[in-house]
């Protein structure tokens, strides 16, 4: 596997090794011992306890969600997403900064997202989204920021897929702006 750093210290891009032959290809998406060994080189020790999948049609935007305890390892086994990680740690000088990634079933990239970082994605095509979590999901302990939060200034490529506004869940559509509600850390 290949690991690259991002602008956030513990947020990493992981590209698993792909084995190809005349039949197609094979990817080992996760091996606990190998991941633990490689991540320990970055001072990261994480155990994943839950796997989740979501299936979205083009134009769906999910997030910005996170909490103060959970690590996530995300991938997009099918389709293509525009994935955004935002620093949501109010004590960090990087609060509100974000970085985007194109994750596809073809490039097989994974993003390791640390606690106190919000995550969101825009489905650029119909897609399958997969993530491993280090804690069990508890909706009541998560924070939600509006996808169009003015303080974050995230550049969503909506027009490139023919949308003026994304398709949102009720939770995401009703997310309040920071200047209205202030920041809570979960």
- The verdict on pTM exceeding 0.85 is yes
Question: Would you place residue 179 in the very low, low, confident or very high pLDDT band (cuts 50, 70, 90)?
Answer: low
Q: Which two tokens mark 68?
A: 């103060």
Query: Tell me, what's the pLDDT at 181?
Result: 44
Using DSSP, state whether 50 is helix, strand or coil: strand
> Which value, to the nearest 10 degrees, does the dihedral of the CA atoms of residues 36, 17, 131, 114 take?
50
Residue that has been written with the tokens 């994750």 in this structure: 103
Q: CA 1, CA 130: separation in Å to the nearest integer?
A: 18
70: burial class by Cβ within 10 Å (0-12, 13-18, 19+)? buried
Q: CA quadruple 36, 39, 40, 43: dihedral positive or negative?
A: negative
């Amino acid at each position: 596997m290949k690991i690259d750093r991002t602008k956030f210290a513990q947020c990493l891009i992981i590209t698993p090794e792909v084995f190809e032959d005349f039949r197609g290809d094979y990817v080992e998406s996760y091996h606990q011992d190998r991941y633990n060994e490689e991540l320990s080189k970055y001072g990261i020790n994480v155990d994943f306890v839950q796997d989740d999948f979501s299936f979205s049609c083009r134009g769906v935007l999910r997030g910005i969600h996170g909490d103060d305890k959970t690590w996530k390892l995300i991938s997009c086994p099918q389709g293509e997403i525009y994935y955004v990680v935002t620093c949501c740690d109010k004590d960090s000088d990087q609060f509100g900064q974000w970085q985007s990634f194109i994750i596809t079933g073809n490039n097989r990239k994974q993003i390791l997202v640390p606690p106190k970082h919000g995550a969101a994605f825009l489905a650029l095509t119909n897609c399958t989204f997969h993530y491993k979590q280090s804690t069990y999901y508890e909706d009541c302990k998560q924070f939600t920021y509006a996808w169009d939060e003015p303080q974050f200034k995230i550049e969503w490529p909506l027009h490139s897929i023919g949308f003026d506004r994304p398709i949102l869940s009720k939770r995401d559509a009703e997310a309040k702006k920071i200047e209205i509600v202030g920041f809570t850390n979960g």
